[in-house]
Structure 1
């Protein structure tokens, strides 16, 4: 499978920069062979790309800057010279924020391109110049990839949902920015190198993971391979669960759990379950076996017959808060793609809830909830209901009922169609030979691992295990949370994906190096789901070779 520039795209490129259609399709203009990219790079500065370059409606593209970045320039750690282009994709309506994007074109190009996803509510341009989790040893740009990313069509940090008041900005955030930026970058790459990339990949995590599934579902002809880690597939579901969790913490008397109590819950669970995988290493790897002890764990944590101190046991109200997160969301109506809720978390199987992305650190709800004060899930859910659903900055999410949303139900369903990525129809992507790698933490406190597993199982129900195995790999990582945890894997997923796409070498068990500060350097096997790493009974606990991938 190869990414190709269409005849219409070639014609548009030629009109923009004075090329013949043949040149736009692959034949470069005459230029000194020792500096073709440098000469082409400066041509882009100030250029305007016509709307015809992009398959979705826009008012064209304005290139703001284009300049070569020297290999010896301070701050350039890519190991070589590259052309850096920045631009804006204009909306049809003046009120629509621009989609800002960056594109990096290495002098030593490997013929491949990589689009990189964002995080949270986006709002910050993905530069594409640095080392990224799915290619930890060397930045993709340093490996010769043309890299690009964008801000999804609004400005602000990843916690800000204010853009939800603007319809076109919501559509861009949901899916349109991906196609618009892809098409703009593809045209520029074809012009810069005289030909389109042989392979086009996408990689991202969290919101970027959702974006990875989105491009397979909506734009299957554009990509040869996708890395989609910790994917926020069911975006509306997780936001509504966040609201219910916040209500349990802050609208229910005694529902708040202080960090010392959350730490007590985690340590008690670790004491019960750490050794179930054969190794006392601070990682709960056999999550299924740990779940068999859950009733006893909860019973031993529950306060009984005395007035508790704040960090000794859980009251019924505090336990109910954790059960909201464990049980997930169940709705009496359907969102897009027949979604009826959101899967719960491994609360009593090693998920640590005291970090910045965990539950709240303050007993009172802030007027505008923040990650640290009131918890990530509630803060993000509050913003979603306030700006996307109610479209009212003064709306109080503690009074919103996700079970019976009343007049907001139609808006919720529409949003789940625009932003969610729960469609299992990957028929076209699979037929074209597209590949997919997903890595997900079993201790993730932001994206439920069970939601990721549920989507994978839905693919098997639809296509059968053999066809899913032919195009997808799912790695569930014990101890890994949402970018943190007691085990933070470092593994070259981009290399694995490229080998699969270009050489047909399908990845199996991978080896990951731990980059958590306290245990940096130890390794573990990354096992294909549903397998997990079990200690073999002998050997160094810090080496992946001492573990085997076992059935739960």
Structure 2
């Protein structure tokens, strides 16, 4: 039987600790129900199983929640803790089907600063027949701008968050699967979006043997630059009351963008297939007389919108540091409430850059030389730990790994061109003569917000496409996405491997995916200016 990926030292130790029961736990010798309870108390030098029980009720209610994860098959729920360092305390769970296991393993990713088990994602994989695992990434979640306090107080836990927790959990989960079923998983996959997408790319770069295939959605992989870009967006809109863009102003801006650019892609449907082709300038909405946010924008509001579109640039050279949000994404912008600004980047700067609980984001300015110097010094210190931007995926490719990445063009939290930038860096690394698409493909989703939702067709099964690629060698040339209104599907469109875009063939229903072909676009005009 093929073992999917090399195990960590922790996992190897656990295999040895569990091995005496592995043969006995094989379904032919002992029921899996009995084998589940027998896992309790098993330990290795850095890992301990704290609970193992059969869940036959069809649901699990996560700690601290009143919403149950339901429609679950009967499974063995294993809870444990990993302690690879003296400061580490990585909680994890492994869920293993009692019946109809598909023979495969799926690790699932997290969101934001994590700090919790991804229960819903575990349920999704269990329903697919997978044995599946999740980790809290090595710390307990904290609210709002204190979400990154753990990394200030326990620096080793920053490494756990960045990459160690997912790697250790993957190896330990495989060891438990081996002990429980009496055989290793035939294939291993990682599925995640946002911080989960970041974790997926980190796995491909640092631990290429952990997974056979990875789905990395809207990855926060350029972490230090993303935090800077997001903080700049917060400051652009919320620091000065004159720059605020309330919902009526964002609605006005969005309607103007769509009216100006919707037909550029050949179909008038309220969605921009490639927002880089749209160069709409908010100055066209500038007020000529009395300001009214549902009819015009003030000069300060115009500049704030321009700054969000433009993204963060080096104040000394004008070099792009992180891309801005795309035109068409305006209804989803998080820069709405001055009393409750987007907390993820503020937490980063409060605890990791300035290490000051009293730090006030309103006092910061990238254009101030001292502030920018503090940013640069922190980036030099943190990027080697936190950023998953290494373009050399040679080891992952060499072992036959496959990577599918996707990003919504209307993403309001992680600029979509970040994915394009990383994909481009990989292609540059391998050179034009190398076929990067043989193991790595990027799909941009028009009208899709952060990890889901939006005005376009945003429902698709990237994991099924990955399975076909890994297990049958069928690379995805297009993936059909759907949009549903009140539960009724009213639009289907193909997502195309970048840089291709879906082009209307000129005949047929524009809501039918069959009416579109994937083609290379005409040269795009970047939307990063003015």
> In the aligned structure 2, how far is the partner of 1:204 from the partner of 1:234?
16
Contact kept, 8 Å, 1:253 with 1:317, in 2: the verdict is no
* Number of residue pairs matched by the alignment: 503
Deviation at 1:498, TM superposition (A): 1.3
**Are 2:354 and 1:361 aligned?**
no
Partner of 1:54: none
Partner of 1:311: 294
With 7-16 and 432-441 compared, the bigger mean Cα shift is at 7-16
Partner of 1:547: 516
Partner of 1:173: 161
Contact kept, 8 Å, 1:3 with 1:197, in 2: the verdict is yes
**Are 2:67 and 1:81 aligned?**
no
CA deviation map 1:496-531 (0-9, x unaligned) = 111111111111111112246587442111112122
Change (3 A) 1:14 1:235: closer
TM-score (norm 2): 0.87
**Structure 1 stretches lacking a partner, 5+ long:** 51-59, 132-138
**Are 2:465 and 1:470 aligned?**
no
Contact kept, 8 Å, 1:102 with 1:128, in 2: the verdict is no
Deviation at 1:541, TM superposition (A): 3.1
Q: CA RMSD in A?
A: 2.8
Partner of 2:93: 102
Contact kept, 8 Å, 1:103 with 1:185, in 2: the verdict is yes
Contact kept, 8 Å, 1:485 with 1:516, in 2: the verdict is no
Contact kept, 8 Å, 1:350 with 1:443, in 2: the verdict is yes
Partner of 1:56: none
Q: Which one of the candidate residues 151, 169, 179 is aligned to 2:136?
A: 151
Partner of 1:320: 303
Contact kept, 8 Å, 2:88 with 2:160, in 1: the verdict is no
Partner of 2:390: 423
> In the aligned structure 1, how far is the partner of 2:128 from the partner of 2:274?
37
Partner of 2:373: 406
**Are 2:326 and 1:395 aligned?**
no
Deviation at 1:437, TM superposition (A): 0.4
> In the aligned structure 2, how far is the partner of 1:79 from the partner of 1:243?
40
* Secondary structure at 1:243 match in 2: helix
With 468-477 and 542-551 compared, the bigger mean Cα shift is at 542-551
Deviation at 1:119, TM superposition (A): 0.6
Deviation at 1:223, TM superposition (A): 1.4
* Secondary structure at 2:141 match in 1: coil
Partner of 1:491: 460
Deviation at 1:279, TM superposition (A): 2.5
**Are 2:199 and 1:211 aligned?**
yes
**Are 2:1 and 1:3 aligned?**
no
Partner of 1:47: 42
Contact kept, 8 Å, 1:127 with 1:150, in 2: the verdict is no
Change (3 A) 1:128 1:103: farther
> In the aligned structure 2, how far is the partner of 1:470 from the partner of 1:146?
28
Deviation at 1:493, TM superposition (A): 1.4
TM-score (norm 1): 0.84
> In the aligned structure 1, how far is the partner of 2:473 from the partner of 2:143?
37
> In the aligned structure 1, how far is the partner of 2:6 from the partner of 2:323?
41
**Structure 2 stretches lacking a partner, 5+ long:** 61-67, 522-530
Contact kept, 8 Å, 2:227 with 2:344, in 1: the verdict is yes
CA deviation map 1:52-101 (0-9, x unaligned) = xxxxxxxx2221211112276797755632111111223533xx362111
Deviation at 1:158, TM superposition (A): 7.5
